[in-house]
Amino acid sequence: MWRDIQLLEFKSITDAKKKLKTISKRWNYFGDKLNRRGALIAEGLTSKKWGSIEFPTSLPALPAFTLLDTGRLAYSLKVQRPTSSGEISFKENKKIPPSRAYLKLWEAFSILGKWPQAGESVIELGASPGSWSWALAELGATVLSVDRSPLHENLSRYPNIRFQKGDAFSLEPQKSDWLVSDVICFPGKLLEYVTHWLASGQCQKFICTLKFTGTPDPAIVDRFRRLPHSRVLHLFHNKNEVTWICDASVVSR
């Protein structure tokens, strides 16, 4: 999503480059029409080729431009995604994690520009079979994984994962650097639960998926969006769900 589209007229490729450079040093080029000409303008302005990304990597959402015709381009300084098409592809680990669900967690961390550091604590709700647990443990975090079902046996090699069997929502707020949730439940139930956590002040960084059955409910998405320091995104790796990202640590430090 491009939020503040503006038009720029140019006489030549060099002129377009010069004008774009005065607005921002780095751009994402969205190739749609006149791709050859656009690519020539983009040369030297776009610093990254988006192939498979090695996590952890911070993915800032750069300003983006696209050509409208030979002498006009449209650009936006406020874009919602780090790549101009919204697609993000990571180098995957196909051996240990029991599913590919960790890709949406990686994507959320990359967009936030933060992820759990070695030694930080993470409470993870709805952890089974354990691909998020794997991703968190690989970062060196200390993970408390809660689920009604057990973790996959591949996770037993990680001493920094502690598994707790039971109902995620019976866990009371406690000191933790991160709370992440991939629990399958009604978004309203999750909202009530995270509101309780936010009020407790015990944790400042949250990443939770809001899952929908059938048509998504925009009203509940809006309530998550209105929580302090929050955004709700439909990530490239989300299915019939969206991701709530909340980072209260920046302002309260």
- What residue ranges bind ligand SAM (CB under 6 A)? 99, 101-102, 126-132, 146-149, 167-169, 182-185
Alpha-carbon gap, residue 190 to 62, rounded angstroms:
32
Identify which of residues 99 and 174 has a Cβ nearer to ligand SAM in the complex: 99
Identify which of residues 168 and 203 has a Cβ nearer to ligand SAM in the complex: 168
Alpha-carbon gap, residue 229 to 250, rounded angstroms:
9
Q: Least distance from C-beta 133 to ligand SAM, angstroms? A: 7
Q: Least distance from C-beta 153 to ligand SAM, angstroms? A: 13
* Contact between 205 and 177 (Cβ < 8 Å): yes
* Contact between 100 and 131 (Cβ < 8 Å): yes
Q: Least distance from C-beta 139 to ligand SAM, angstroms? A: 14
Q: Phi and psi at residue 29, in whole multiples of 5°?
A: -100, 125
Identify which of residues 114 and 237 has a Cβ nearer to ligand SAM in the complex: 237
Q: What is the DSSP letter of 236?
A: T
Task: Collect all residues with Cβ–Cβ distance below 8 Å to 139 and sequence separation of at least 6.
Answer: 56, 115, 116, 117, 118
- Sheet strand arrangement including 142-147: 161-165, 142-147, 121-125, 178-181, 205-211, 241-247, 230-233
Q: Least distance from C-beta 182 to ligand SAM, angstroms? A: 3
Identify which of residues 170 and 252 has a Cβ nearer to ligand SAM in the complex: 170
> Which residue has the closest beta carbon to ligand SAM?
126
Identify which of residues 30 and 211 has a Cβ nearer to ligand SAM in the complex: 211
Q: Least distance from C-beta 111 to ligand SAM, angstroms? A: 18
Angle subtended by helix axes 102-112 and 131-138, to nearest 10: 40
